[in-house]
Copies of this chain bind each other. A is one copy, B any other.
């Protein structure tokens, strides 16, 4: 196969590097040549010998020899044009672009199908953890009921720092920023949109449906305080940014929100920049995938696997319906903290100094908010 890589930032460079170093072994695995013909980027990059450097992506896409176009520039404008152009030229496309897929999945997969080629996007969720394809293909027997995940490594790193080094949110954020862990548009990480892009992709495949990305209710970690984190820990929980989707009676439930997760569960022990995805389904019951969610070679590992997979004739369709029935998941147990005693149905109650802490019964958010309407209180979901 002849490959053109468009976008030579962290992941793009890692991809070219792996394809160069592992060329011989990869070729043996699939019994055909694996050749990177082009590296395309606006900035000047030092490419390995034999790879053509170009600043013009048309040169890559118009080359009839190229079988696979790898889009790693990100964003939803030029990247979209590149991918559609490549598909329309009957090239397979590999991308890590979660935002684009979350917004334009239907259009992209339709273009792939009409051109008889495939769009691969394993690297868009969970860095190098194999989860997109396994959840789709290896779980194909199953009707999936629920997906829960820690899908954004940056916020998990910040929450870990807050707990371990006894920092408040702003202090931990500064450290993460200094390490280059936070996206230029910090809202993507901190307000949960990056996690939402990823849960969109998993949900689309698991439930076989497209839907409007903007229907995902996102609550990020800006309001997670050290105080609540400490109380949670005393009660046996950690606060994690959980992206969740599940079947509801009236449709599809999906949201991203800070959630207390029991420390007795694996998900409650996922620290630093690690990601986890837990899937609950009928035949297989539950299955969990865990690993590093980001990093040059971590993500490039998934990109390379997708590139190699284009050698197979793929038959899996994305022939999904479109649904309007998408809602936040509002029925939950909640952690509630208030300086006043509250009139709530609860599983657990604690009094710490001036603070009253409740773990409620499973309740509708609306009913909880009604109960709290006259009382200042802080609350988060609790995983049950």
Interface set of A (CB-CB < 8 Å, partner B): 14, 18, 22, 25-26, 28-32, 122, 127-130, 133-134, 137-143, 208, 266, 269, 282-292, 295, 297-298, 300-302, 304-305, 308-309, 311-317, 319
- The answer to whether B140 touches A287 (Cβ under 8 A) is no
CA distance A254 to B316 in the complex (A): 37
Knowing A266-B290, A286-B292 are in contact, say whether A316-B138 is a contact too (CB < 8 A).
no
Residue from B25, B128, B142, B319 in contact with A284 in the complex, judged by beta carbons closer than 8 Å? B128
> Which residues of chain B have C-beta atoms less than 8 A from A288's C-beta?
288-291
Q: Is the CB of B305 within 8 A of A138?
A: yes
Flag if A315 contacts B311 (CB, 8 Å). yes
Q: Taking the full assembly, how many copies of this chain does it contain? A: 2
Find out whether the CB atom of B287 lies under 8 angstroms from the CB atom of A130. yes
Please judge, given known A-B contacts A134-B138, A312-B315, A313-B312, whether A301 and B283 are in contact too, CB under 8 Å: yes
B291 touches A140 (CB 8 A): no
Given contacts A130-B138, A284-B301, A311-B315, could you give 6 more A-B pairs where the C-beta distance is less than 8 Å?
Answer: A30-B316, A139-B301, A285-B295, A287-B289, A287-B292, A290-B290
Instruction: For residue A170, give the distance in angstroms from its CB to the closest CB of chain B.
Output: 29
CA distance A133 to B140 in the complex (A): 14
Question: Given the complex of chains A and B, what is the CA–CA distance between A133 and B292 in angstroms?
Answer: 19
Listed A/B pairs (30) with beta-carbon separation below 8 Å: A14-B283, A18-B141, A18-B283, A22-B141, A22-B143, A25-B208, A26-B141, A29-B316, A30-B316, A30-B317, A127-B284, A128-B285, A128-B287, A130-B138, A130-B139, A133-B138, A134-B138, A138-B302, A138-B305, A141-B300, A283-B301, A283-B304, A284-B297, A284-B298, A285-B292, A285-B298, A287-B290, A288-B291, A311-B315, A312-B314
Which residues of B are found within 8 Å of A122, using beta-carbon distances?
A: 138
Residue among A18, A134, A304 facing the most chain B CB atoms (10 A cut-off): A134
A142, B32: Cα distance in complex, Å: 18
Q: A139-B301, A290-B266, A315-B312 given as contacts; is B30 within 8 A of A283 (CB)?
A: no
CB distance from A68 to the nearest CB of B (A): 14
Partner of A287, one of B129, B309, B313: B129
A93 smallest CB distance to B (angstroms): 18
The complex places the Cα of A25 from the Cα of B282 at a distance, in Å, of 14
- Chain B residues lying within 8 Å of A292, measured Cβ to Cβ, are 284-287
Residues from chain B with Cβ under 8 Å of A26 in the complex: 140-141
A28 contacts which chain B residues (CB < 8 A)?
317, 319
Partner of A308, one of B128, B133, B140: B140
Closest to A122 in B: B138
CB pair A31–B315 under 8 Å, yes or no, is: yes
Q: Would B300 and A283 count as touching, CB distance under 8 A? A: yes
The answer to whether residues A301 and B141 also contact, given A28-B319, A312-B312 and a CB cut-off of 8 A, is yes
Query: Does B140 lie within 8 Å of A29, measured CB to CB?
Result: yes
User: Could you say which residues of chain B place their CB within 8 Å of the CB of A139?
Assistant: 130, 301, 305
| Contacts known (A26-B140, A30-B317); A291 close to B285, Cβ less than 8 A | yes
Interface centre among A122, A142, A287 (most CB of B within 10 A): A287
Q: For A312, what are the chain B residues with a Cβ–Cβ distance below 8 Å?
A: 312-316
* Most B Cβ at <10 Å: residue of A29, A30, A308, A313: A29
> Which residue in chain B gives the minimum CB-CB distance to A304?
B141
CA distance A297 to B301 in the complex (A): 32
Q: How far is the CB of A163 from chain B (nearest CB, A)?
A: 14
